[in-house]
Every structure is written in structure tokens, then in C-alpha cells.
Structure 1
Amino acid sequence: MLRNLIILGMLAVASASFPILYQSNPQMLDGLLKSAVGTRPAVETQTDLNLATVPDRPATPRPLGRKVVVAADVRGHFTSAFRLNGRTVDGMIDTGATLVAINSSTARRIGISLNVSDFKHEVNTANGAIRAALVTIDRLQIGKITVDGVQAVVLDDKALRTNLIGLSFLQRLEKYQVENGALLLVQ
């Protein structure tokens, strides 16, 4: 059982790393694919070509935009490292959260200083109503996706152990969707 969990964990890490590696160096993967295809024996095929239909120059490729794929962990949650105001922070993407929610410790780490009087808003959580401070995160990044000026709430550390990346970030993307056990984010 433990061996199966370790193997499953290694597969999850490998599948989560593949999109990140591709985003950081797509030419490397293209080169590997071309070399793998180039090593196959050539198969002769006869094709009728109508040269009148071949364009003078190839069509300009459409930019694909910025994409990030976040693999689900063993619990089915989409957790990842993010950069908030330039600082790396672990968080969980929560499509049920209206706003990005961070705890007080994270807020201090990313340069947001708060007073007790800033906690004047009441928010409803799964554990009931709690006091929160409304803030704006200057920059939220995951992979190559960057969104500036993201609204967030700050909760007490006891009320929020895991930082949540909610709809105030997700709705500013071109799309986000779950496919094949992973969350696709597109900017």
C-alpha cells in the first residue's frame, strides 16, 4: 500500500512538473519530439499534391497565451506554489472561494501590515462567520500567469491554515477548467 502511494505521488509530481518544464523551455521538448520522430524509419508514401493550393508562406501561428496546469493531489485538491507580491507562498486553488484568502502570517510575509482595526469585515466561511481585513495584493503569479491588483481577505492564522486562491484571481483569467484530473489555467 505504501509503495503504491509513493509511486502515485511520484507520478503526480512528474505530471505536475511536465507542464512547468514545457513552459520554461518549449524548444527543448520540441527538439526531443523532433529527434524521436526523426529516428523512425522513413515510410514512402505517394501523395498527389496540387501546388496551386499550397500557400506562398506559412500561416502565422496564433499565440497560445499563458497556460498553467495544476495536478490534483491525493485528496483531489489543486495545491501549488504561488508568488504573492514577489514572495513564494503555498496555496490551494478554491473555486468556491469568492476572494483570495490569506492568513495574517502570509500577509506580513508579503509586505501587508495590518492593525486590529483593519479586521472590520465579517466573512462567512465553512466554519462560520469571522472577522477579516480587505486588502489588495499587488501581484499574484503562478507559473507564467500574472494578475495585478487582486482583491483578498486576511484572516487570523487560527481561522485559515491554508492560503486559498479564489475567484478574485480565477475570474481575471481567460479560462480555468478541470480536465483529466488537473486544473488548467489560461491567461
Structure 2
Amino acid sequence: MFGRLLTFAGGIAVAALVIPDLASSYLSKPDTRGSGKTAEIGAIPATTAKHASGKAVVLEADRSGHFFGDFRINGRTERGLVDTGASTIAINVSTARRLGLSTGTLAFNVRVGTANGEVAAARAKLAKVEIGGISLRDVDAFVLPDKSLSGTLVGMSFLSRLSSYRVEDGALHLVR
């Protein structure tokens, strides 16, 4: 039962990364409304942190309603899509290598559902995940094949360890 739930959550998480790619022609123009800064990465505009003070960070939603942030994972900056429907942080093999994980020792023995069908994923532990003044150690993650995941997904293995997180007026508030 837990395996099915994990597979379902993984599928939802990966779909959250695939759907923005399908709408890339719509999203290719950065949103200039509001006071948040925007940066274009590939075909997906990603908002930067609007406010980052102490142990609180506010991320503005992009045009499609997604929340992106610049996270420092194991000392390296990675653009991440925050997804409350994902059970863990999800990264691909190339990102895992960049973050210093030994991909040769990963056991791809967890089946997760994606928009492209089921794929094997490996459990991993990220030494440190940070955004703004928020910093967490030993955060659970899944590593997926590059072809199955094009970006970094920040799920509940990060969010559940915060004091709070909420969406209000088109912004995601993260508090440690």
C-alpha cells in the first residue's frame, strides 16, 4: 500500500515538471507584473525570492501558478519547483552528480509513476538544502533517470520540516 502511495506521489511530482514543458510556448515570455524579479530559464520563466529575511522566504508564483526558487543543495545552486504534492525532493542523475552524489552506488529499486510511465528511482540523502536563510540537513530525495525528469522538484521531505508554509496572494511563504 505504501509503495502504491509513493508511486502515485512520485507520478504527481514528475507530472508537475512535465506539464510546464508542454506549455513552453505560452510560458516563454517572462511575467513582468508585480514587483518580483523574473529570470528566464529555458522556456520556463522562474521567479526569484521576493523576500528573504532571516528564516523566512517568499516566492512569487510564475504565470502558470508554479513556485520556483534558487535553492543551494550540497553547496550548489539549483533552480527548484516547489510542489506540495510531491513526497520528496526529486532530482535527475546529472543533477545528482553535480551535487556530489556518487551515482554509481545508487540503487534504482523504487518504482515511481511519471507522465511517461513507471521508472526506477533511487533513494538519496542530501546533506544540506537551503533557500534564503532557511537551511536543512539530511533531506530525503529521489534520483530519477535524466530522461524522466528535466528539473529539480522540491517536495514534502523539505517542506514538512519547516515551521510553516502557505500560499497567500499569489506568493508561497516558507518559514523555518
TM-score, normalising length from structure 1? 0.68
Compute the displacement of 1:183 (Å).
0.2
Equivalent residue for 2:139, pick from 150, 155, 165: 150
Q: Which residue of 1 aligns with 2:160?
A: 171
Compute the displacement of 1:102 (Å).
0.4
Equivalent residue for 1:105, pick from 71, 75, 94: 94
Compute the displacement of 1:113 (Å).
1.3
Compute the displacement of 1:11 (Å).
3.3
**Which protein shows a greater Rg?**
1
Q: Which residue of 1 aligns with 2:25?
A: none
TM-score, normalising length from structure 2? 0.72
- Name the amino acid aligned to 2:51: P
Q: Which residue of 1 aligns with 2:37?
A: 13
Cα deviation code 1:32-63 (max 9, x no counterpart): xxxxxxxxxxxxxxxxxxxxxxxxxxxxxxxx
Paired residue secondary structure (2:51): helix
Unpaired runs of at least 5, structure 2:
1-28, 39-46
- Name the amino acid aligned to 2:112: V
Question: Whose helix fraction is larger, Structure 1's or Structure 2's?
Answer: 1
Equivalent residue for 2:119, pick from 119, 130, 141: 130
Alignment of 1:1-187 (within 5 A): 8=32, 11-13=35-37, 18-20=50-52, 23=53, 66-115=55-104, 118-187=107-176
Compute the displacement of 1:123 (Å).
1.5
Change (3 A) 1:18 1:154: closer
Q: Identity of counterpart residues, as a percentage? A: 44
CA distance in 2, matches of 1:164, 1:74: 18
CA distance in 2, matches of 1:6, 1:136: 34
In the TM superposition, structure 1's runs of 4+ consecutive aligned residues that sit over 2 Å from their partners are 5-12, 14-18, 124-128
Question: Whose strand fraction is larger, Structure 1's or Structure 2's?
Answer: 2
CA contact (8 A) 1:138 1:148 kept: yes
CA distance in 1, matches of 2:96, 2:106: 15
CA contact (8 A) 2:31 2:62 kept: no
CA distance in 1, matches of 2:140, 2:30: 38
